Amino acid sequence: MRIGAIDCGTNSIRLLIADAVVETDENGKETTRLKDVVRQMRIVRLGQGVDATGWLAQEALDRTFEAAREYAQLLKEHGADRVRFVATSATRDAGNRKVFMEGIQQILGIEPEVISGTEEASLSFAGAMRAVGAGDKNTLVFDLGGGSTEFVLGGGRGAEAKVISSRSVNVGCVRLTERHMVSAPVTDEQVRRVEADTDAAIETVVSSVPLSTATRAVAVAGTATTLAAAALGLETYDSEAINGTSLSLETVQRTAQMLRSMTRQERAELGYMHPGRVDVIGAGVTIYARILTRLNEITDGVINSVTVSEHDILDGIALSQL
């Protein structure tokens, strides 16, 4: 079976076309894995201004529809048997989301889904666990997006890992960049404001997710993978080098400060930096470093590092169709 999955977030819209491959182990147990055929991303900034206005801007809709037309052509060319389109934070918050949904349905011929933060967290967890495996540890996956961050705690082995609890909060690299007018370089006052919002969000998470029981942290999405590329000293973006990388808390904090201190031009010249992340990476890495710092404190030092996964909600959307 050939599966199509589209993840439409606040900052980017991504496509995965993959074949579902059934494998049998030595004990005769069958498992299904995904084999990538196409994996693409477009930065469309659908959530432009949504935090302030509660409305999807027309230019943002136009950019997203253009990308959706490209994806529709790829899905047709590669003969996807099933397709699922999922929209997240920006669309959840928008008063005119009906316009967006009607436009997507007209372009792709399928009904888009605007999912809850809870389902978003579960899909992110499923995708991440397929990539890094959970073992017997309580693993906390955090998916730091453009408009929201999902925290999901789960346990169990590999594909059998199950969600224990989860929470979605409205802190993300685009939302907080716009809210606090985060510049490049980032000022000390801007760092304090972003960290204060992140701390408040984490307090909300703690009320429903037992973060103190987590024994491993896994980070997914563009902010985490971009910081990993910086920490590894990559000249160009290399997903294979990034996936599964373990970074210490100190490394995350140091790399976040390095990226915050750069001008827009300096960031744009980095070979691994996507042009669409140049203006939001300062807020993104500030949120990221603060989350890991607080997890270290909440777990009394048990979590002192983070594993970075290239696989996330997009893989979870594909897996959900099997």
- What CATH number should be reported for the domain holding residue 193? 3.30.420.150
105 and 163, same domain (yes or no): no
Distance CA 100, CA 96 (A): 7
222 located within any domain? yes
177 and 146, same domain (yes or no): yes
25 and 100, same domain (yes or no): yes
Residues 6+ apart with CB under 8 A from 183: 190, 282
Give the CA radius of gyration of the chain: 19
74 and 17, same domain (yes or no): yes
- Among residues 79, 113, 147, the one where a domain terminates is 113
Q: How many CA atoms lie within 13 Å of 187's alpha carbon, on the beta-carbon side?
A: 7
Q: What residues are paired with 309 via a beta bridge?
A: 220
The predicted pLDDT at position 227 comes to 98
74 and 149, same domain (yes or no): no
Distance CA 190, CA 15 (A): 33
- CATH number of the domain where residue 100 is located: 3.30.420.40
103 and 189, same domain (yes or no): no
The predicted pLDDT at position 269 comes to 96
- In the chain, the amino acid numbered 95 is G
135 and 109, same domain (yes or no): no
Q: Retrieve residue 185's tokens.
A: 């370089």
201 located within any domain? yes
Nearest CA to 218 among 286, 154, 301?
154
320 located within any domain? no
36 located within any domain? yes
Instruction: Collapse the DSSP code of 140 into the 3-class scheme (helix H, G, I; strand E, B; otherwise coil) and give the result.
Output: strand
184 located within any domain? yes
264 and 166, same domain (yes or no): yes
Q: What is the pTM of this model?
A: 0.87
Residue range 23-67, pLDDT digits in tens: 787 777 777 788 999 999 999 999 888 888 888 999 999 999 999
The predicted pLDDT at position 136 comes to 60
99 and 168, same domain (yes or no): no
Is residue 305 within 8 A of residue 247, CB to CB? The reply is yes
Is residue 271 within 8 A of residue 308, CB to CB? The reply is no
32 and 150, same domain (yes or no): no
Domain count, the chain: 2
- In the chain, the amino acid numbered 248 is S
Q: What residues are paired with 187 via a beta bridge?
A: none
59 and 151, same domain (yes or no): no
94 located within any domain? yes
The predicted pLDDT at position 281 comes to 97
The predicted pLDDT at position 75 comes to 96
Dihedral sign, CA of 12, 18, 20, 23? negative
Cα-based distances in Å from 290 to 95, 129, 195, 309? 31, 23, 6, 19
Q: Retrieve residue 298's tokens.
A: 């909440």
316 located within any domain? no
Q: The domain containing residue 103 runs over which residues?
A: 1-113
- Among residues 83, 113, 143, the one where a domain terminates is 113
185 and 157, same domain (yes or no): yes
- Among residues 78, 113, 148, the one where a domain terminates is 113
DSSP tag of 102:
H
124 located within any domain? no
**pLDDT beneath 50, residues of the chain:** none
